[in-house]
Amino acid sequence: MSITSQDKGKAAIIKYVKDALNPANGAAYWADPDGTNGPEGALLSQFIVKTLAEHVKAMEGCILEEQHFPVGAFILSITAVMRAFRMFTTGAFINAGPFSKDNIGALTTEWQESPSVKTFLAKPHRQDKLLRKVNKHLSGGSDTEGVNNDAGNNQHSGLGKGAHIIMDHSSPLRYDDDA
Protein backbone atom coordinates (compact mmCIF):
# COMPACT_ATOMS: atom_id res chain seq x y z
CA MET A 1 0.00 0.00 0.00
CA SER A 2 1.57 3.28 -1.05
CA ILE A 3 0.95 6.76 0.29
CA THR A 4 -0.59 9.10 -2.27
CA SER A 5 0.44 12.72 -2.68
CA GLN A 6 -2.99 13.65 -1.31
CA ASP A 7 -2.24 11.63 1.85
CA LYS A 8 1.14 13.35 2.14
CA GLY A 9 -0.60 16.71 1.78
CA LYS A 10 -3.10 15.85 4.50
CA ALA A 11 -0.31 14.63 6.77
CA ALA A 12 1.55 17.91 6.26
CA ILE A 13 -1.59 19.91 7.08
CA ILE A 14 -2.24 17.84 10.21
CA LYS A 15 1.34 18.37 11.38
CA TYR A 16 1.27 22.11 10.62
CA VAL A 17 -2.03 22.54 12.51
CA LYS A 18 -0.82 20.49 15.47
CA ASP A 19 2.43 22.45 15.64
CA ALA A 20 0.68 25.82 15.18
CA LEU A 21 -1.74 25.11 18.04
CA ASN A 22 1.03 24.13 20.43
CA PRO A 23 0.80 26.65 23.28
CA ALA A 24 4.52 26.30 24.00
CA ASN A 25 5.66 27.64 20.63
CA GLY A 26 2.86 27.46 18.07
CA ALA A 27 2.65 29.94 15.22
CA ALA A 28 -1.06 30.45 15.96
CA TYR A 29 -0.11 32.32 19.14
CA TRP A 30 3.52 33.46 18.94
CA ALA A 31 5.04 36.23 16.82
CA ASP A 32 8.33 34.30 16.69
CA PRO A 33 7.90 30.66 17.66
CA ASP A 34 11.63 30.02 17.21
CA GLY A 35 13.16 33.01 18.98
CA THR A 36 16.77 32.81 20.09
CA ASN A 37 15.71 32.38 23.74
CA GLY A 38 12.52 30.45 23.04
CA PRO A 39 9.26 31.68 21.58
CA GLU A 40 8.73 35.45 21.61
CA GLY A 41 5.70 37.67 21.21
CA ALA A 42 2.92 35.89 23.11
CA LEU A 43 -0.47 36.51 21.47
CA LEU A 44 1.20 38.62 18.75
CA SER A 45 1.14 36.02 15.97
CA GLN A 46 0.65 37.03 12.36
CA PHE A 47 -2.72 35.24 12.49
CA ILE A 48 -3.97 37.24 15.49
CA VAL A 49 -2.62 40.46 13.96
CA LYS A 50 -4.38 39.88 10.64
CA THR A 51 -7.65 38.83 12.30
CA LEU A 52 -7.68 41.85 14.61
CA ALA A 53 -6.79 44.06 11.63
CA GLU A 54 -10.07 43.08 9.96
CA HIS A 55 -11.97 44.39 13.00
CA VAL A 56 -9.97 47.62 13.05
CA LYS A 57 -10.57 48.08 9.32
CA ALA A 58 -14.32 47.56 9.80
CA MET A 59 -14.36 50.15 12.59
CA GLU A 60 -12.61 52.81 10.50
CA GLY A 61 -14.51 56.06 10.71
CA CYS A 62 -16.32 55.04 13.88
CA ILE A 63 -16.43 57.92 16.33
CA LEU A 64 -15.69 57.02 19.92
CA GLU A 65 -15.31 59.45 22.79
CA GLU A 66 -12.37 57.50 24.17
CA GLN A 67 -9.66 55.55 22.44
CA HIS A 68 -8.94 52.25 24.13
CA PHE A 69 -7.51 48.86 23.34
CA PRO A 70 -10.21 46.69 21.68
CA VAL A 71 -10.25 43.98 24.35
CA GLY A 72 -13.33 42.16 23.05
CA ALA A 73 -12.06 42.14 19.47
CA PHE A 74 -8.66 40.92 20.68
CA ILE A 75 -10.22 37.99 22.55
CA LEU A 76 -12.48 37.15 19.60
CA SER A 77 -9.42 37.27 17.32
CA ILE A 78 -7.58 34.71 19.45
CA THR A 79 -10.69 32.53 19.54
CA ALA A 80 -11.18 32.82 15.78
CA VAL A 81 -7.56 31.88 15.06
CA MET A 82 -7.73 28.83 17.32
CA ARG A 83 -11.04 27.75 15.81
CA ALA A 84 -9.82 28.23 12.24
CA PHE A 85 -6.81 25.99 12.87
CA ARG A 86 -8.99 23.39 14.61
CA MET A 87 -11.18 23.23 11.50
CA PHE A 88 -8.24 21.58 9.69
CA THR A 89 -7.12 19.06 12.35
CA THR A 90 -7.98 16.15 10.05
CA GLY A 91 -6.00 17.59 7.16
CA ALA A 92 -9.20 18.70 5.44
CA PHE A 93 -11.76 21.38 6.25
CA ILE A 94 -14.24 20.48 9.01
CA ASN A 95 -17.39 22.61 8.98
CA ALA A 96 -17.83 23.62 12.61
CA GLY A 97 -20.91 25.73 12.00
CA PRO A 98 -21.31 29.47 12.44
CA PHE A 99 -18.98 31.60 14.53
CA SER A 100 -21.65 32.09 17.18
CA LYS A 101 -22.12 32.13 20.93
CA ASP A 102 -23.47 28.58 20.81
CA ASN A 103 -20.37 27.31 19.00
CA ILE A 104 -17.55 29.37 20.49
CA GLY A 105 -19.01 31.15 23.51
CA ALA A 106 -17.37 28.85 26.06
CA LEU A 107 -13.98 29.05 24.33
CA THR A 108 -14.23 32.85 24.14
CA THR A 109 -14.96 32.98 27.88
CA GLU A 110 -12.01 30.67 28.58
CA TRP A 111 -9.70 33.04 26.70
CA GLN A 112 -11.21 36.08 28.41
CA GLU A 113 -10.54 34.57 31.83
CA SER A 114 -7.16 33.04 30.96
CA PRO A 115 -3.92 34.10 32.65
CA SER A 116 -2.49 34.64 29.15
CA VAL A 117 -4.99 37.35 28.23
CA LYS A 118 -5.01 38.88 31.72
CA THR A 119 -1.21 39.17 31.66
CA PHE A 120 -1.25 40.62 28.13
CA LEU A 121 -3.86 43.21 29.10
CA ALA A 122 -1.89 44.17 32.22
CA LYS A 123 1.04 45.21 30.01
CA PRO A 124 0.13 48.27 27.91
CA HIS A 125 3.40 48.08 25.97
CA ARG A 126 2.30 44.69 24.55
CA GLN A 127 -1.08 46.13 23.56
CA ASP A 128 0.73 49.02 21.86
CA LYS A 129 2.98 46.57 20.04
CA LEU A 130 -0.03 44.61 18.78
CA LEU A 131 -1.74 47.78 17.56
CA ARG A 132 1.46 48.89 15.78
CA LYS A 133 1.57 45.51 14.02
CA VAL A 134 -2.12 45.85 13.09
CA ASN A 135 -1.56 49.35 11.71
CA LYS A 136 1.50 48.20 9.80
CA HIS A 137 -0.49 45.35 8.29
CA LEU A 138 -3.32 47.69 7.32
CA SER A 139 -0.89 50.10 5.68
CA GLY A 140 0.46 47.30 3.50
CA GLY A 141 3.63 46.57 5.45
CA SER A 142 4.62 43.15 6.66
CA ASP A 143 3.78 42.44 10.28
CA THR A 144 6.11 39.45 10.29
CA GLU A 145 9.44 40.93 9.19
CA GLY A 146 12.34 38.90 10.51
CA VAL A 147 10.09 36.19 11.90
CA ASN A 148 10.68 32.51 11.23
CA ASN A 149 7.20 31.10 10.56
CA ASP A 150 8.11 27.44 11.19
CA ALA A 151 5.61 26.21 13.78
CA GLY A 152 8.16 24.03 15.57
CA ASN A 153 8.30 20.33 16.26
CA ASN A 154 7.00 19.99 19.81
CA GLN A 155 5.05 16.79 20.36
CA HIS A 156 2.47 18.39 22.63
CA SER A 157 -0.59 19.93 21.07
CA GLY A 158 -3.47 22.16 22.07
CA LEU A 159 -5.93 20.26 19.88
CA GLY A 160 -9.26 19.68 21.49
CA LYS A 161 -8.46 21.85 24.51
CA GLY A 162 -9.57 25.28 25.55
CA ALA A 163 -7.58 28.42 26.21
CA HIS A 164 -3.90 27.89 26.94
CA ILE A 165 -1.30 29.63 29.05
CA ILE A 166 0.75 31.57 26.51
CA MET A 167 3.11 34.15 27.97
CA ASP A 168 6.52 35.55 27.16
CA HIS A 169 9.35 34.40 29.42
CA SER A 170 9.38 37.81 31.10
CA SER A 171 5.81 37.20 32.26
CA PRO A 172 5.82 35.00 35.35
CA LEU A 173 2.59 33.21 36.17
CA ARG A 174 0.44 34.97 38.73
CA TYR A 175 -2.01 32.88 40.62
CA ASP A 176 -3.72 35.51 42.73
CA ASP A 177 -6.86 37.27 41.49
CA ASP A 178 -5.47 40.69 42.35
CA ALA A 179 -3.41 40.87 39.13
Please count the structural domains in the chain: 1
Residue 155: inside a domain: no
Structure-model confidence comparison of residues 154 and 79, the more confident one: 79
The pLDDT tens digits for 30-77 are 999 999 999 999 999 999 999 999 998 888 777 666 678 999 999 999
Q: What is the mean pLDDT of the chain?
A: 82
Residue 163: inside a domain: no
pTM for the model stands at 0.78
Query: Is residue 25 over pLDDT 50?
Result: yes
Residue 19: inside a domain: yes
- pLDDT-derived band at 111 (thresholds 50, 70, 90) equals very high
Which of 169, 173, 164 has its CA nearest to residue 21? 164
Structure-model confidence comparison of residues 110 and 173, the more confident one: 110
Residue 146: inside a domain: no
Residue 174: inside a domain: no
Containing structural domain, residue 70: 5-138
Query: Is residue 131 over pLDDT 90?
Result: yes
CA 27 to chain centroid, in Å, comes to 8
Residue 30: inside a domain: yes
